[in-house]
Structure 1
Amino acid sequence: MGALERGSLGAHSRYVDAEVVYPDPASQPAAFVDAVETAAEAKEYFAVIPTRDDTTTAIARHKDHLDATGTLAGVEDWSRFRRVADKARTVALAADLSVPVPETWTPESPDAVAAIADEISYPVLVKPRSKHVADDQGRLYTHEISDRDYAHSPADLRSTYERLATADPGMRATPPLVQAVVDGDTATTVGVADDGELVATFQELRLRTTPHSGGSSTLIRGIHDDQMRAYADELVAELGWTGPIQVEFMRSQEDCYLIEINGRYWGRSRWRRPRASTSRGSTSACWRASGRQSTAAPTGASSSSDCCTAT
């Protein structure tokens, strides 16, 4: 079990036999990867499994370092990961498919925002391209969407964009995007994919979030939506994705509009698995999710093989 400091909650589990303390992956991504690599070399871990946006981003960016140790990294390749981590890239991905997305603009400067401010319909949302935006050195800066990020007029858009675009070095390096607001309910298709095919899925409707304007789910309901599943299948196939994935939509009366894709482990990928629908055994898919170069558990390995979880 890896954590920022000793005595983390997870380290007290009876299933954890060692604790690895690492530097902050957001402010010291290179040092974090070095610490995980050193731990992997010191003990024959089967896999390193990051569970947060910052740990997943840092490990995906330096996945080749861990691959060299013989320990599998439970993340996608950086080229694929960037297509889901960066919302502008995700919108471009969907634009080449049949998947609907809210109208989206990617201005690179306040002047570019001013040029569209009087031409678009309101309200719109000004949002970072990722929850963790990197600066030129790879340091990550966290951004949570709030009510302040919604613009209801041209003047409101200009001021909101300028505030976010200058918030920190990460936002200055990667300016936010502007997206039309779609009325509806947030719904997701979550699951595990194997080489571009979803092999275990669960669909949910978000009933309550914290904060209300958009955040973590605090109450959800399981649903079945064939159209949403078809869109998720199309996206996963185009990505050629292997591993856990969450495809989030705004579900309106007209259609399901893609909002974002999360390519990492999260709470519902663990707790919802017992109710997941499977097209074939999900155990083998979970092995594959730990590393694209391996299609089965190592010889002699079992489900109790050692893993280091970066929480």
Structure 2
Amino acid sequence: MANVFVPDGRSIASVGIVRSLGEKGIDVTLGNERRVSAAAFSKYVKNNIVYPSPEKSPELFTSEMYNLIKKEKYDVVMPVRDSTTILFSKMKDRLSDYTKLHIPDYFTLMKGRNKAETVKAALDSGIPCPLTYFNGDGNIKKLKDTIEYPVLIRPCESSGSRGIVYVGSPEELVNEYYKIKNEFGEVMIQEYIPHTGKAYNVSALFNQYSEPRAVFAMEKIRQFPISGGPTAFAESIKGDNIKKYALKLLKDMNWVGVAEVEFIFDERDKKPKLLEINPRFWNPLSLAIHSGVDFPSLLYEMALNGDVEPVNSYQLGVKWRYYIYDVLCFIYSSNKVNRIPEFATFHNVHDAILSFRDPGPAFGSLLDGFSSLVSKERREHVFKRG
């Protein structure tokens, strides 16, 4: 019987992965640093393993994962979140005798995770980006009087818009720069791009030769927080122009496996500008699956067999919602009464969690959400964003 190990049960994407693989008769073992998660309650999960936190105890996590995979010899391991993907990339060669890991090498992965390195790679590939200032420590006081405001201060390594700060004056720039740097480490300064509030994401799968084998584009209609963050509501789109840029960037970086590239459209010149790469699976993964691009199954087949036939077409206009974030979007939105029809859209909308065929994750999501409310650390993780 085919079997796959999926770490990161806490991720929304893990629900889509578990369902995709489980529906095809593949045994799924789920891993997580806590037992309760939405994915853990899926009927497709055969085993649920609790492991040390990859963020707090990376060495212990690495040791336990190596021993587990050496013992169980899963056909494929599919890490989902940043921290586990990074640690597995370091173990990739050591684990090659026991399982398949179709992810980038550590150097390439970190180039995609570090936003400054991503921008530099994009500029080398001719991809339009916001005007960006790197390594501001030595000249931040000089820079503050020469740049055009407003600007954004962005940590080079963070997720979910955490640490991104909008500043509109030289004094604010200096104060916020060092505050964000002290909390997040290396930062960069970018021009603020006037945009509609929506973002546009391209997801792709590359084989071992950095050739694209699947591509999908979506419009990120609502996000939480409203100013910019994880997807709350999205729709599949054609997106040929942003696909072209995303595929070129990833190919030039010698990418292997999955990644998501995010853009916004500049209202001044109507051109897409690169925001970042998510060098892993992405939260609205099930939108691509429902639209006809089954990334988990394709990745599984590619890991085992070396390659797959390209998948470039899919259904347009398919909608996706993560109800928890969408409820928060409604709560924090203005003109709530006028926006009720917009939020009450259910036709052709697939939820990230809710499913009549697999109702367990909805229950698990409620339990996980309750535990988040009573935990200060987890509450801050959700609400402390840009």
Match of residue 217 from structure 1: 231
Match of 1:61 in 2: 90
User: Of 98, 114, 117, which residue of structure 1 is paired with 2:126?
Assistant: 98
Distance 1:158 1:82 in 2: 27
Q: Aligned match of 2:273 in 222, 245, 257? A: 257
Q: Deviation at 1:7?
A: 4.3
Q: Is the 1:80–1:239 Cα contact (8 Å) retained in structure 2?
A: yes
Deviation at 1:82, TM superposition (A): 1.2
Deviations 1:122-156 (A, max 9, x none): 11111111216xxxxxxxxx97145xx11101111
Aligned-partner Cα distance in 2 for 1:19–1:206:
32
In the TM superposition, residue 31 of structure 1 has moved relative to its aligned partner by: 1.1
TM-score by length of 1: 0.80
Normalising by structure 2, report the TM-score.
Answer: 0.65
Quick check: 198-207 or 112-121, which moved more?
Answer: 198-207
2 CA distance for matches of 1:260 and 1:76? 17
Deviation per CA, 1:45-85: give whole Å up to 9, x if none: 11221111222222223333323x42122421111101110
Describe how 1:1-311 pairs up with structure 2 within 5 A.
Answer: 1-67=30-96, 69-109=97-137, 111-131=138-158, 144-145=162-163, 149-167=165-183, 171=184, 174-184=185-195, 185-194=198-207, 195-253=209-267, 254=269, 255-276=271-292, 286-288=300-302, 290=303, 295=306
- Greater strand proportion: 1
- Residues 1:262 and 1:143: Cα distance change in structure 2 (over 3 Å): closer
For 1:147-195, what per-residue CA distance to the aligned partner results, in whole angstroms no more than 9, with x for missing partners? Answer: xx1110111110110111112xxx3xx4211111111231111122223
Q: Structure 1 counterpart of 2:162, which letter?
A: E
The AA in structure 2 aligned to 1:224 is K
CA RMSD of aligned residues (A): 2.5
- 1:81 and 1:264 mapped to 2: Cα distance? 9
CA contact (8 A) 1:145 1:214 kept: no
Amino acid at match of 1:83: K
Q: Sequence identity, in percent?
A: 26
Partner of 1:302: none
User: How far off is 1:104 after superposition?
Assistant: 0.7
Q: Which has the higher contact order (CA 8 A, sep 6+)?
A: 1
Unaligned runs of 5+ in 1: 133-141, 298-311
How many residues are treated as equivalent by the alignment?
A: 274
Q: Amino acid of the residue matched to residue 188 of structure 1?
A: N
Supply the distance in 1 between the matched residues of 2:63 and 2:243 (Cα, whole angstroms). Answer: 39
Q: In the TM superposition, what whole-angstrom CA distance separates every residue of 1:11-68 from its partner, at most 9, and x where no partner exists? A: 333322222221111111111111111110121211221111222222223333323x
* 1: CA distance, partners of 2:146 / 2:263: 26
**Distance (Å, rounded) in 1 between the aligned partners of 2:179 and 2:114:** 20
Q: Is the 8 A contact 2:102 2:256 kept in 1?
A: no
